[in-house]
């Protein structure tokens, strides 16, 4: 890996950790585990569209590891990993087939996958199917937060593509 | 706006409305359970007949303190940072469970009479 690329990915990873840190200061709106804005996903989307698939997985994994070490509880690593990787797979696949103007929808599907993965882990960990009740809340919150972060990502991607520094 | 955008927007709206309808349905449906089951790490540790609670008392768990009252149950103290389980409030029926993921505690209400005599918690 070229030094330039390492620096570039480190910058993106750092950005997403910072966004996550700022977002974690916002108190939860609903008393439902998993309802949050998910702004760090903007960076994942930008890296998927502007840099590449493998690089986006790397930045995602770095972000999850660092944020768990800094702010996480023991349980949250498993949840972040399951949700993060599942949503990454969905977003990479959809980014290949969906029209460029529907980045917001890619983000919503990513949010669905993220929350779906987390609920699966929650059901597995607690061994209670009743926990899946909260998935209904997460579907609604996914649509709202997914559209918001998707629109943020769209504008970031448009700007980022004009920056020559990202083309290595 | 492109046609695909409109179709996607419609699909997402339908998904959100269906989920909202599901929540309303589950809460309106008469879940008249009377046993509160407390699970820790997926194992049933307490099963309490809420109709027979004469005066409120608390149960101390590893990281949570649970308040048992006549007809309802809630978590009043937790050692996790977000305190989501406390904010979930008290539950009276089988519609929704109380979940504390950091301590892996789930409380749900059923009217299932099997294995009642594990512990009454009283």
* Tens of pLDDT, residues A92-118: 999 999 888 899 999 999 999 999 999
Q: How many alpha carbons fall within 13 Å on the CB side of residue B9?
A: 8
Subunit contact B102:A139, Cβ cutoff 8 A: no
ipTM of the complex: 0.81
Residue A107 to residue B39: CA distance in whole angstroms: 35
Per the CB < 8 A criterion, the answer to whether A112 and A139 are in contact is yes
Domain count, chain A: 1
Higher pLDDT, B117 or A10: A10
For residue range A34-75, list pLDDT tens digits in order.
Answer: 788 989 999 999 999 999 999 999 999 999 999 999 887 777
Q: Mark which residues 116-155 of A lie under 8 Å from B by CB.
A: 122, 125-128, 130-131, 133-134, 136-137, 139-140, 143-144, 147
Q: Is B38 left (phi over 0), alpha (psi -120 to 50) or beta?
A: beta
Q: What is the CATH number of the domain that holds A90?
A: 1.10.1760.20
For residue range A136-166, list pLDDT tens digits in order.
Answer: 999 999 999 999 999 999 999 999 888 877 7
Closest CA–CA distance from residue A12 to any residue of chain B (Å): 28
pTM as predicted: 0.87
Higher pLDDT, A123 or A1: A123
For residue range B44-103, list pLDDT tens digits in order.
Answer: 888 888 888 888 989 888 888 999 988 889 999 988 877 888 988 888 887 788 998 888
pLDDT higher than threshold 70 for residue B19: yes
User: What is the extent of the structural domain holding A149?
Assistant: 3-166
Average pLDDT over residues A2-10: 89
Average pLDDT over residues A74-85: 88
Cα angle B89, A121, B99 (rounded to 5 degrees) comes to 10
Q: How many CB atoms lie within 10 A of CB A70?
A: 11
- Whole-number average pLDDT of chain B: 84
Tell me which chain B residues have a C-beta less than 8 angstroms from the C-beta of A130. Answer: 96-97, 106, 108
Closest CA–CA distance from residue B84 to any residue of chain A (Å): 5
Residue the block writes with tokens 């904010």: B87
Residue B51 to residue B70: CA distance in whole angstroms: 6
- Which of A7-11, A72-76, A119-123 shows the lowest per-residue confidence on average (mean pLDDT)? A72-76
């Amino acid at each position: 890996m070229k030094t330039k690329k390492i620096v570039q990915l480190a910058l993106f990873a750092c950005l997403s950790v910072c966004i996550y840190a700022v977002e974690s200061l916002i108190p939860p709106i609903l008393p439902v585990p998993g309802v949050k804005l998910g702004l760090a996903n903007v960076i994942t989307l930008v890296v998927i569209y502007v840099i590449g698939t493998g690089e986006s997985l790397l930045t995602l994994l770095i972000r999850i590891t660092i944020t768990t070490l800094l702010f996480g509880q023991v349980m949250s690593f498993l949840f972040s990993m399951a949700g993060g990787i599942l949503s990454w797979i969905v977003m990479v696949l959809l980014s290949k087939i969906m029209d460029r103007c529907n980045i917001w929808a890619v983000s919503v599907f990513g949010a669905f996958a993220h929350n779906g993965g987390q609920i699966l882990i929650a059901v597995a960990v607690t061994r209670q199917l009743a926990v899946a009740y909260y998935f209904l809340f997460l579907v609604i919150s996914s649509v709202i937060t997914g559209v918001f972060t998707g629109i943020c990502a769209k504008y970031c991607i448009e700007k980022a593509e004009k920056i020559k520094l990202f083309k290595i | 706006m492109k046609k695909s955008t409109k179709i996607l927007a419609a699909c997402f709206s339908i998904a959100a409305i269906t989920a909202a309808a599901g929540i309303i349905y589950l809460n309106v449906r008469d879940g008249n359970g009377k046993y509160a089951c407390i699970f820790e790490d997926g194992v049933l540790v307490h099963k309490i007949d809420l109709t027979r609670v004469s005066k409120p008392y608390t149960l101390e768990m590893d990281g949570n303190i649970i308040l048992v009252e006549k007809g309802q149950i809630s978590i009043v103290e937790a050692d996790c940072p977000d305190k989501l389980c406390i904010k979930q409030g008290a539950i009276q029926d089988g519609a929704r469970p109380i979940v504390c993921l950091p301590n892996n505690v789930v409380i749900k209400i059923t009217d299932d009479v099997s294995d009642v005599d594990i512990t009454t918690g009283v």
